[in-house]
Structures are given as structure tokens and as C-alpha cells.
Amino acid sequence: MIFFYGSYLHALPEQALVPGGIALLQLPDYKHGTKVYFDNKRIAVFPYKDSWVAMAGIGLSKKPGNYEFSIRRADGLSLNTSVTVEYKKYDEQHLTIKNKRKVNPNKQDSERIAAESLRKKKARKLYSETDPKVDFIWPVTGRISSIFGLRRFFNEQERRPHSGLDIAADEGTPVMAVADATVVDTGDFFFSGNMVYLDHGQGIITLYAHLSKISVKPGDTVKQGDIIGNVGQTGRVTGPHLHFAVYANQALIDPIFMLPKNGNPAMASSPEKTAPSQQ
């Protein structure tokens, strides 16, 4: 098996063999009906040039070490190969939230959050057989105000690491679908505010949060570039921005690895890339 190097990938996502990164596996002998799994979860497979590629999301909580791909053909033959995930240190971010309930929810809030968590889990676990769309565009033009993976402290209380990319933009700025998709879920969530989930096929899910307005509904089909809502400051925020997140095989991955490097002229910063080890 051949593992792609990020520098060779043009229309494909960028490989980064770190927690929150992506592993790409070339499948030169791919046959129809073949299914590929990473860490026991089925992953996306799609054609690229004269070959096929499997794409695995590496969860942010993954420890350094070897993780296994399992390639299972329809005729019963199978092959396993592994990839080494390397250590990556993520920085801290300290934020002050004026609405203290957004940091320490009351009992009623906690019940709402628990119900919403089930909806979120259902959305990110979706695996449709639709051909995956991975050639993304930027959902909005703006300054990156917070990068993926930061260890977050709200009012000096540690919470979960930052699960996406925050793009600051004026309230009301249109937000676009990054690729063709089906709308999985929409709604007003306690922490995320007005939010949209899109299914791009085979476990590739995107999330758009803190919207001022939602312009789509579950079951809608959207094309790349279609307006799905507008930038806002709903939920737990310090100002207007889009929180954009990407799931692959249920793993949160750094959206920067899925986005074109020249697609956001206002981009002021990007996370440091970690080169994958040779396999």
C-alpha cells in the first residue's frame, strides 16, 4: 500500500498523520464492492486520477502509535495495513463569556444539552452510500479567529478542545455549502446556536454553527456554493463568526486540511502543518 504525501495532493485533502488529521491510502487494485475500515469504522473511498483513494479521519483524542486500515473485498479477500500517528501539541485559548449559563448551565439547560447531544451524535454517525465530495471550497471569506484543536478555557474553566475552525465575518454574511450535500439536521442548539449539518457522502459530514439565519431544512439537497445560512453570534460566542467543523468516519478533523489554500483571501493565519511520516 502507498500512503500519499500531502505535497502531491492538489484537489484532494491534505494528509497529516496526527490527532485531528487525515490519513490517505491509495488503492491501486480497487474492485467494486470493496469496503475500507480505519480503527474499525468504515471510511470514504473515491476515485482520483487513475486510482482510488480511501480517506480516514484521525480523532483528536488518538494517542501516538499504529492504527490499522482493513481493506475488505466483495469476494472475501482482505488485507490489513497500518499507519503511524505522531504526536502533536495543541495550544491553549482563554476566553471570557459574559453569559455565565453558557459556561455553567443550570439543570434545565443541562437537560436540553443532553437531548441535543443525541441529535449531534446521530448526525455525525451517518454513513450514506453517496459518492463522497471532498473537493471543498471555503464556506465564507473572513479572518481565522480560532484554529482547530485548541485546549479551551471559558472563564478560566477548562472545557473540550476546539472542534472546528472559527472564521470571523460580519453578521449576515452568506455562508455557503463547501460541497454538494444533503441537509442532515438544522436547529437552534444551546452552545452552537443556529446550526446546520450537511452530509457529503460516506461519513464526510460538515457543521456550520452560530448562524443568524438558517436557509435550508433537513432533506434538502444543496450544491457547492449554495447559501445555507448567514453568519451570526448565536449560542456560546464572543462575537459574530462561523464555526465550521468536519467529521470523517465520526472523527473530528482539522478543517484546514480539507480547504483550498488559495480560497480565502482574508485568511490571516493557519495552523502549523505536521508532515506525515513515510510508510
At 276 the pLDDT is 26
The pLDDT of 227-243, averaged and rounded, is 93
Q: b or e along 208-219 (b: 16 or more beta carbons within 10 Å of the residue's beta carbon)?
A: bbbbbbbbbeee
pTM of the model: 0.86
At 149 the pLDDT is 84
What are the angstrom distances between the C-alpha of 180 and each of 118, 124, 126, 158, 249?
Answer: 25, 17, 16, 36, 18
Q: According to DSSP H, which parts of the chain are helical?
A: 107-124
Q: Which residue has the higher pLDDT, 218 or 149?
A: 218
Q: Which residue has the higher pLDDT, 237 or 24?
A: 24
By the 8 A CB rule, do 246 and 256 touch? no
Q: How confident is the model at residue 266 (pLDDT cuts 50, 70, 90)?
A: low
At 9 the pLDDT is 38
At 278 the pLDDT is 25
Nearest to 232 by CA among 142, 105, 128, 136: 142
pLDDT, tens digit, for every residue of 87-109? Answer: 998 877 777 777 776 777 788 88
pLDDT at 242 over 90: yes
Cell 490519513 -> residue: 23
At 28 the pLDDT is 83
pLDDT at 272 over 70: no
- Domain extent listing, the chain: 2-85, 92-257
* 261 CB-contact burial (10 Å; exposed 0-12 / middle 13-18 / buried 19+): exposed
The 10 Å Cβ neighbour count of residue 75 is: 9
pLDDT, tens digit, for every residue of 245-254? Answer: 999 999 999 9
Exposure of 188 in the CB half-sphere (CA atoms within 13 A): 5
pLDDT, tens digit, for every residue of 170-199? Answer: 999 999 999 999 999 999 998 899 999 999
Looking at the structure, give the CATH architecture of the domain made up of residues 92-257. Distorted Sandwich (2.70)
Q: Which amino acid appears at position 148 of this protein?
A: F
* 95 CB-contact burial (10 Å; exposed 0-12 / middle 13-18 / buried 19+): middle
pLDDT, tens digit, for every residue of 142-157? Answer: 999 888 888 767 667 6
Nearest to 248 by CA among 179, 159, 146, 157: 179
Average pLDDT, the chain: 87
pLDDT, tens digit, for every residue of 110-131? Answer: 898 899 889 999 999 999 999 9
Cell 462561523 -> residue: 242
Q: Topology of 2-85 in CATH?
A: Immunoglobulin-like (2.60.40)
